[in-house]
Amino acid sequence: MSILIRVTRQNPSTATLLTRHLSSAASKLHSSYTFKPPSSLTPEPECPNSPPTKPNQKKPKPKYRPPSSLDPAGRKPVRSNDLPFDFRFSYTESSPKVRPIGLREPKYSPFGPGRLDRKWTGVCAPAVDPTVESLEAAEDPKLEEQRKKKREMIQGKPLTTDERKALVSQFEKSKTNRHVNLGRDGLTHNMLNVIHNHWKFAEAVRIKCMGVPTMDMKNICTQLEDKTFGKVIFRHGGTLILYRGRNYNPKKRSIVPLMLWKPHEPVYPRLIKTTIDGLSIEETKKIRKRGLAVPALTKLAKNGYYAFLVPMVRDAFLSCELVRIDCEGLERKDYKKIGCKLRDMVPCILVTFENEQVVVWRGKDYKPPKDGHFLKDRESFEDGNDDLNVAQEQQAI
């Protein structure tokens, strides 16, 4: 090697000739004495364009794929035979009696593809498979009997007065911070699973209700008992205590499939019409102008307790025909829901939603309801006469 370096330094042309000679001699030796193995010992690669793999080369790792809840990955759909009711996004803020006039999106199931053994109609997932594809499926009357039998089986023997008082004192706000918030969407489907998770560690759960659903607390209590198979043992304002039952077993409870996203609300008929039924256009404009000038009956706070609203409007209709409720600061969809509930519960006629105000009219032939509307702000659910016990507790307070 040192000789070649010296020659290169002295005469570069001689060095190039010498390297060419050495390379040609090496190629002749390689062609004469090389060994070519048979084809059986050299397997051809599967892909002709891919380079041959080395014997000790590791297989390339698969590319990272983030986990997705939409990927079934061999899962079987959840069986929902143990839950004999139609699955909806909200059980308190939607009514099966009101039929929508259209959908805002295709009928994509919010439970995910292939994760539930029910069909999504765009509004609900009915327990009984609908034979005709429609927006709303009528509920089977036998389902209510099944729910009632299952609830009686889970509840078992009713609680005594001492047991009820002990549970109520155990789940007061000052003794435990564990609770469930029920907000503007009301009792949602995924909230059922949250309640069952609380029942794993305690016999009861405290539920704090806020916002629009509190206008009908009786409906909230009914839906909670109907969908969770529990029992409301105490109510004070918007705070409830829901008991799971004597025979409740968290290991054998029904599996509640979860909704992966919130479905779009369907299209319903307009609440405010161009002209009020039985009036002309000019009379409708005059009533709307007068309604906005009437002093406000009350001003609603955001995420407040609105159970007092229906009796207040009924009492106000005894002296005046127009009532205005100040909803400044609330979202538009919230005071629209308030107006819809007033229309059904008072009942009354909606006039306008302008300037964040809810204006209602009692109508020409208004007759106050005979049954009245006595508001029970506190219910103890004691054995015997409930009204007497409620009156005694209110006097003690």
CATH for the stretch 74-263: 3.30.110.60
Which range has the worst mean pLDDT, 12-21, 168-177, 265-274?
Answer: 12-21
Return the pLDDT at 298: 94
Rounded to a whole number of angstroms, the distance between the first and last alpha carbons of the chain is: 110
Q: Which residues pair with 349 in a beta bridge?
A: 361
270-361: CATH, from 3.20.20.10, 3.30.590.10, 3.30.110.60, 3.40.50.620: 3.30.110.60
Write the pLDDT tens digit of every residue in 228-272.
999 999 999 999 999 999 999 999 898 899 999 999 999 998 999
**Is 394 a residue whose pLDDT tops 80?**
no
**Spatial separation of the C-alpha atoms in residues 194 and 226, rounded to whole Å:** 16
Contact 233, 204 (CB under 8 A): yes
Residue 297 pLDDT greater than 90, yes or no: yes
Q: Averaged over 215-233, what is the pLDDT?
A: 94
**Whether the predicted pLDDT of 209 surpasses 80:** yes
172-180's contacts with Cβ under 8 Å and 24+ in sequence apart are 173/206, 173/239, 176/206, 178/202, 178/205, 178/206, 179/205, 179/206, 179/207, 179/208, 180/205, 180/206, 180/207, 180/208
DSSP E strands: which ranges in 160-203?
Answer: 179-182
Give the Å distances, CA to CA, from 39 to 36, 44, 307.
9, 8, 88
| pTM score of the predicted model | 0.74
Query: What pLDDT is stored for residue 364 in this prediction?
Result: 85
Q: What is the mean pLDDT of residues 95-100?
A: 83
DSSP code, position 251? G
Cα separation, 296 vs 302, in Å, equals 17
Using the structure block, give the residue that is written with the tokens 């010992």: 41
Over residues 372-389, the mean pLDDT reads 48
pLDDT of 392 reads 39
Return the pLDDT at 155.
93
Number of other residues whose CB lies within 10 A of the CB of residue 300: 22
Extents of the domains making up the chain: 74-263, 270-361
Mean pLDDT over 345-362 rounds to: 93
Which residues have a Cβ under 8 Å from the Cβ of 143 and sit 6 or more positions away?
84, 85, 127, 128
Mean pLDDT rounded to a whole number for the chain: 81
Q: Using the predicted structure, report yes or no on whether residue 126 has a pLDDT greater than 70.
A: yes
| Cβ-defined contacts of 268-275 (< 8 Å, 24+) | 268/98, 268/100, 268/101, 269/101, 271/336, 271/339, 271/340, 271/343, 271/350, 271/353, 272/350, 272/351, 272/352, 272/353
Statement: residue 188 has pLDDT above 60: yes
The token duo for 237 is 């304002």
> Would you tell me how many other CB atoms lie within 10 Å of the CB of residue 18?
15
Q: What per-residue confidence (pLDDT) applies to 161?
A: 93
Same fold, 74-263 and 270-361: yes
pLDDT band for 41, please (50, 70, 90 cuts): low
State residue 69's pLDDT score: 58
Distance in angstroms (rounded) separating the CA atoms of residues 380 and 386: 7
- Which amino acid, residue 145? E
Q: What is the pLDDT at residue 67?
A: 63
